[in-house]
Amino acid sequence: MTKFKVYISDYDYPDISIERKILEPIGAEVIGLKCKTGEHLAEQAADADAIIQQYAKIPRATIEQLTNCRIIARYGIGVDILDVAACRERGIIVTNVPDYCIDEVADHAISFSFMLMRNLPFYDRKVHQGSYRWQDWRAPLPRFRGAVYGLIGFGRIAQNLARKLQVFGFRAVSYDPYVSAEFMATYGVEKVSCEELFQSSTVINVLCPYTKETHHIAGRDTIALMRPDSYLVGVSRGKCIDNVALYEALKDRRIVAAALDDPEEEPMKTENWEPVNPLFSLDNCFFTPHSAYATKESLESCRHVAAENVKQVLTGGKPLNPVK
């Protein structure tokens, strides 16, 4: 007998067997949708007792139509694509997976950084074209030891990354107005202002969550502060980086190179995406398809936690990871 309706707004996993294994024993029917933009989600999941959300945007207008919903469980860490205030007003619990992909994103960011600093893609292309000269690269290769590595945001991923960077001898600095200098110092990281970070860093890594305050935190004014021998890495939400300003800086060779896990338009959340972003035309800007979080282990763990949060709420318990 079906007691609960649980809708998965959208998913890019091969199946939803993990979620069904956890939720069907409590009498839940688990229904997988492919509504990744979030449009018409209210109509498709009108009788939902719970929604598990991946990329679909769920604004106030949608939430107000979910009259039976008791919980919306995010598959990831960030809740910027969900109107949390509207959920609270309607008594809908919001959960996330706060420990999700901490190693994966930190390791991806480090891989990006090292790839850029050692100039691997450019040299690879040159060798395939028949040139075997280290002098082909126009900028001197920087040494890791002693280089300044700037972390925008000092949450769990940045903390993980800072610990790993120390092995290579980087001097790590961070800008985060919500974290004390004393706490950063326990990781061997110096707290600096946003301006100082952009002015002094060899590598700048955008790791902050996406909010009104962090929209284009790497924007025209801050990118203009960057050193001509510096690099920009982005493994956070695409809209934290002004893609037009970055394009101009890279095209004019005002910074050396950049590597991003997501462009500003965030293709994973759009239908019929086409690569029209001007950054894709540059030979000094590199991309991965929003894959920084992806390993078999991280994906399985995330799905388990999201489904367990739903299970707890629907059976009258407290969720493991409520968003406060």
pLDDT digit string (tens) for 184-207? Answer: 999 999 999 999 999 999 999 999
Q: What are phi and psi of 149, to 5 degrees?
A: -110, 115
The pLDDT tens digits for 68-108 are: 999 999 998 889 899 999 999 999 999 999 989 999 999 99
| Model pLDDT for residues 223-260, shown as the tens digit of each residue | 999 999 999 999 999 999 999 999 999 999 999 999 99
Name the pLDDT band for 7 (thresholds 50, 70, 90).
Answer: very high
What are the pLDDT digits (tens) for 248-295? 999 999 999 999 999 999 998 888 889 999 999 999 999 999 999 999
pLDDT at residue 137, as a whole number: 77
Residue 1 has pLDDT above 80, yes or no: no
- Token pair 């759009």 is found at 270
Q: Any alpha helices (H) in the chain, and if so which ranges? A: 17-23, 41-44, 60-63, 84-89, 102-117, 120-128, 156-165, 181-185, 194-200, 220-223, 243-251, 296-314
Exposure string for 57-89, b = 16+ CB within 10 A, e = fewer: bbeeebbeebeebbbbbbbbbebbbbbbebbee
Active-site entry in 24, 196, 266, 304 = 266
pLDDT of the residue at 135? 86
Q: What is the pLDDT of residue 54?
A: 95
The closest alpha carbon to 140, from 229, 232, 257, 228, belongs to: 229
Phi, psi of 52 (to 5 degrees): -105, 125
Reported as a single tens digit per residue, the pLDDT across 127-149 is: 999 999 988 877 789 999 999 99
- Return mean pLDDT, the chain: 95
Catalytic residue, candidates 74, 108, 216, 290? 290
Mean pLDDT of 11-16: 93
Instruction: Of 316, 314, 305, give the one whose Cα is nearest residue 18.
Output: 305
Given a cut of 80, whether residue 180 has pLDDT beyond it is yes
237 classed as catalytic: yes
pLDDT at 62: 97
pLDDT, tens digit, for every residue of 303-321? 999 999 999 999 999 999 9
Q: State the catalytic residue, choosing from 237, 264, 303, 308.
A: 237
304 is catalytic: no
pTM of the model: 0.88
CA separation for the pair 284, 231 (Å, rounded): 10
